[in-house]
Structure 1
């Protein structure tokens, strides 16, 4: 019976093992994806939020509702989204985006006038922004996934 000398080089398999270990850190990736989508949503909703226009004699300034999206902080949408916490619900990664201004829902969905005879239409700033982000999300996430995999396998 003939014998053969076969030398095996396992360096490629070891490298693949190490690269696959990097992919195992998926929670960080999913958190980053959630924050990316939240930042884009906030940027859109802030632009759509109307600012009140008051006569100078009232002493009021507009923009309370718009500032409410970032909890009154003077930061941009991306910086504020990075500060938000991501929590996991089943297989979903969730970020709660709220506007704590008490009349936010009335501006969003509409309301009766004070004399109860007319209706003020809602601005749907959050609803419309959510729909836009939902349609953009597959492309955004696909790009982020490609970058993530490229970093893991480089």
Structure 2
């Protein structure tokens, strides 16, 4: 038989429960941030207005050529393809991932050379969104943390 100290067990159980709640809180806040990122980056993502130009990417290069069709088209694939992959614990921190699997997304974000040697400036919609959200973190996370602490009876 071994000695059982209830006080130590209770302390362990309370700390375990607290840690579970803290991780749940952090994951929840990270997912809120992810949803905010998706909403903001979608608003900034340009929608292509295509005359007769056709764009496609292959082997890390963007190609543009004129199509024979006389119809004008409106894009939106890049904007529609943003996805929140969710938050997760990673080692000693947490990460939230948003992604866009549109092949030409990096070219629109960062800029690209044209076939005739010119340069199309990047739109930086993702970079601008991330900088804006980082600047707002205290206003976003602060109230959520205060609400979390109120759940424990702290005001």
Decide: shared fold, TM above 0.5: yes
Residues 72-83 of structure 1: matches in 2 within 5 Å? 81=84
Aligned residue number for residue 48 of structure 1: 44
Comparing 138-147 with 90-99, greater Cα deviation is found at 90-99
Runs of 5+ unmatched residues, structure 1:
1-18, 71-80
Judged with a 3 Å threshold, the aligned counterparts in structure 2 of structure 1 residues 34 and 27 are, in CA distance, closer, same or farther, namely: same
> What is the TM-score normalised by the length of structure 1?
0.71
Cα distance between partner residues in 1 of 2:139 and 2:92: 20
Residues 50-129 of structure 1: matches in 2 within 5 Å? 50-55=46-51, 57-58=70-71, 60-70=73-83, 81=84, 84-116=85-117, 118-129=118-129
Cα distance between partner residues in 1 of 2:150 and 2:87: 24
Aligned residue number for residue 16 of structure 1: none
Could you tell me whether the CA contact under 8 Å between 2:34 and 2:86 is conserved in 1?
Answer: no
Q: Is it true that 1:26 corresponds to 2:39 in the alignment?
A: no
Q: CA deviation at 1:60?
A: 3.9
Deviations 1:6-62 (A, max 9, x none): xxxxxxxxxxxxx98864311100001101111111111100000011249447441
Runs of 5+ unmatched residues, structure 2:
1-13, 53-69
Q: CA deviation at 1:95?
A: 1.8
Could you tell me whether the CA contact under 8 Å between 2:86 and 2:98 is conserved in 1?
Answer: no
SS in 1 for 2:86: coil
The structure with the largest helix share of the pair is 1
Residues paired across the two proteins, number: 124
CA RMSD of aligned residues (A): 2.4
Q: Is it true that 1:35 corresponds to 2:31 in the alignment?
A: yes
The structure with the largest strand share of the pair is 2
SS in 2 for 1:97: strand
Greater relative contact order (Cα < 8 A, sep 6+): 1
